[in-house]
């Protein structure tokens, strides 16, 4: 006997005939988030396909079609020479990745200590930061001719440019990280008898780490940005190089392949940096987890 105020429980039960377990794969696929995401992608790709091949909008006349790009990238014998089955493709990827790796590593090894000292020592900051801030506004690509003049090899200018961009971002963010550390931690350390170098090791470095990693994520993005630009202007091999030469040699679908690859690898490297950060900052992860993030 059901109370007339309740909604009919048997009807409800019938609708949810099978229960979707929370957190199961099926639940994830049917989740609104994933669904919306796919809708977004479909709209974007659909628009691309429709505008080039179906509606043939005049503006899009010369754009490579979605179908062409997809068949090209997946074909073992690509018309324009680059696909996932061609060795050359991976050579270019490797070339770019290697350059980014060297540039980013150098920028981090030099930039983080510099940033730490800039934040830690007022004296050091007052001397060094003005010069740093004078050089920083110069866009990285403006350094290209100078880099070519300075370095005799072909690789060095490209790596130098990526390094420079990365270096400024890393150093600046590290400095801001040190400055963001609450005064109380310094005071507590001093009360507990820590000497200057001990404060540096135990408060400055761990305290700045969250900011440092945010900076590193921005830094690797900037590194890719500069690398691609440098490769487009000078250099052989590399994804920027492919994009540029594909354009000059009228191999348009390859441009898109280059762009997509760049996007994908850029995202991967960024995620890698983020993952390393999470690993090193267990304490922060737990703290954030507890505050409901």
Partner 1 sequence: MNESVKTSQHMGRGQISIDNVVKIYDPEGAAVMAVDHCSLEIAAGEICMIVGPSGCGKTTLLNAIAGFHSINSGSITLDGKLLCGPGKPQATPGSDRIVVFQNGALFPWKNVLDNMMFGPVMAGKMGIKEIKEKAFSMMADAGLSGTENNFPGELSSGVRRRVEIVRALMNDPSVLLLDEPYRALDSLTKSVMHEALLDIYYKNKVTIFFITHDLQEALFLGNKVAIMTSRPCKPKKVLTVDIPYPRSYSVVTDQRFRDLMEETSDLVHEEAKKSFAAGEREG
Partner 2 sequence: MIRSVQKFFFNRSSRRATIAIIVFLLFWETCSRSMGWFGFQVPWIGKIPAPSAVITAWIPLLTDSGYWTSWYLSSKRVFTGFLMAMILGIPFGLLLAINRTAYGIMFPTFEVLRPIPPLAWVPAAIIFWPTAEMSIAFVTFLGAFYTIVINVLGGAQSIDQRFFQAARSMGSSQWDIFKRIVLPATVPSIAVGASVGMGITWEVVVAAEMISGGGSDGGGKGGGLGFFIWDSYLGGSYQQIVVGMISIGIAGYLSSSLIRVLGDHFSKWTRR
Q: Which does 182 bind (CB under 5 to 8 A by kind): partner 1, partner 2, none?
A: partner 1
Q: Are 235 and 248 in contact (CB under 8 A)?
A: no
Concatenated DSSP letters of 16-81: T-SPPPTTSHHHHHTSHHHHHHHHHHHHHHHHHHIIIIIS--GGGTTSPPHHHHHHHHH-SS-TTS
Specify the residue, 77 or 184, whose C-beta has the smaller distance to partner 1. Answer: 184
Distance CA 114, CA 92 (A): 33
Distance CA 209, CA 281 (A): 8
Contact status: 37 vs partner 2 (CB under 8 A):
yes
The candidate with the shortest Cα–Cα distance to 256, out of 160, 224, 264, 162, is 264
Interacting residue with partner 1 among 123, 282, 292, 293 (CB under 8 A): 282
Number of residues forming the site for partner 2 (CB under 8 A): 64
Total residues at the site for partner 1 (CB under 8 A)? 26
Binding mask 201-220 for partner 2 (x = CB under 8 A): --------------------
* Residues 214, 233: Cα–Cα separation, whole Å: 29
Residue 279's binding partner among partner 2, partner 1, none (Cβ under 5 to 8 angstroms by kind) is none
CA angle (252 as vertex; 234, 222 as ends), nearest 5 = 45
**Smaller CB distance to partner 2: residue 109 or 250?**
250
Least Cβ distance, residue 213 to partner 2 (angstroms):
16
The CB-of-254 to partner 2 minimum distance in angstroms stands at: 10
End-to-end Cα spacing for the chain: 45
**Site residues (vs partner 1, CB under 8 A):** 182, 184-185, 187-195, 198, 202-203, 206-207, 209, 281-284, 286-288, 290
**Site residues (vs partner 2, CB under 8 A):** 32-33, 35-37, 39-41, 43-44, 59-60, 62-63, 123, 126-131, 134-135, 137-146, 148-151, 221, 224-225, 228-229, 232-233, 239-240, 243-244, 246-248, 252, 255-256, 258-260, 262-267, 270
């Amino acid at each position: 006997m059901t109370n007339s105020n309740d909604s009919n429980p048997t009807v409800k039960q019938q609708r949810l005939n099978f229960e979707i377990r929370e957190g199961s794969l099926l639940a994830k696929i049917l989740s609104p988030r994933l669904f919306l995401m796919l809708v977004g992608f479909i709209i974007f790709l659909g628009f691309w396909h429709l505008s080039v091949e179906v509606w043939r909008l005049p503006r899009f006349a010369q754009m490579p079609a979605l179908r062409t790009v997809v068949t090209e990238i997946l074909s073992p014998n690509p018309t324009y020479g680059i696909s996932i089955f061609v060795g050359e493709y991976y050579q270019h990827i490797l070339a770019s990745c290697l350059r980014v790796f060297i540039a980013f590593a150098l920028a981090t090894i030099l930039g983080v200590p510099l940033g730490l000292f800039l934040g830690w020592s007022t004296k050091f900051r007052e001397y060094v930061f003005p010069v740093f801030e004078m050089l920083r506004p110069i866009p990285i690509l403006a350094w290209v001719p100078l880099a070519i003049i300075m370095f005799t090899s072909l690789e060095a200018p490209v790596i130098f440019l990526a390094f420079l961009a990365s270096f400024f971002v890393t150093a600046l963010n590290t400095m801001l990280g040190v400055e963001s550390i609450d005064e109380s931690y310094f005071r507590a350390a001093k009360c507990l008898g820590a000497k200057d170098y001990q404060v540096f090791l135990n408060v400055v470095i761990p305290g700045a780490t969250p900011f440092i990693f945010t900076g590193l994520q921005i830094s690797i993005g900037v590194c890719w940005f500069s690398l691609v630009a440098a490769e487009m202007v000078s250099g052989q091999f590399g994804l920027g190089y492919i994009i540029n030469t594909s354009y000059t040699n009228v191999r348009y679908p390859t441009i898109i392949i280059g762009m997509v690859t760049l996007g994908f690898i850029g995202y991967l490297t960024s995620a890698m940096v983020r993952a390393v950060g999470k690993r090193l900052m267990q304490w922060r992860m737990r703290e954030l987890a507890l505050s409901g993030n």
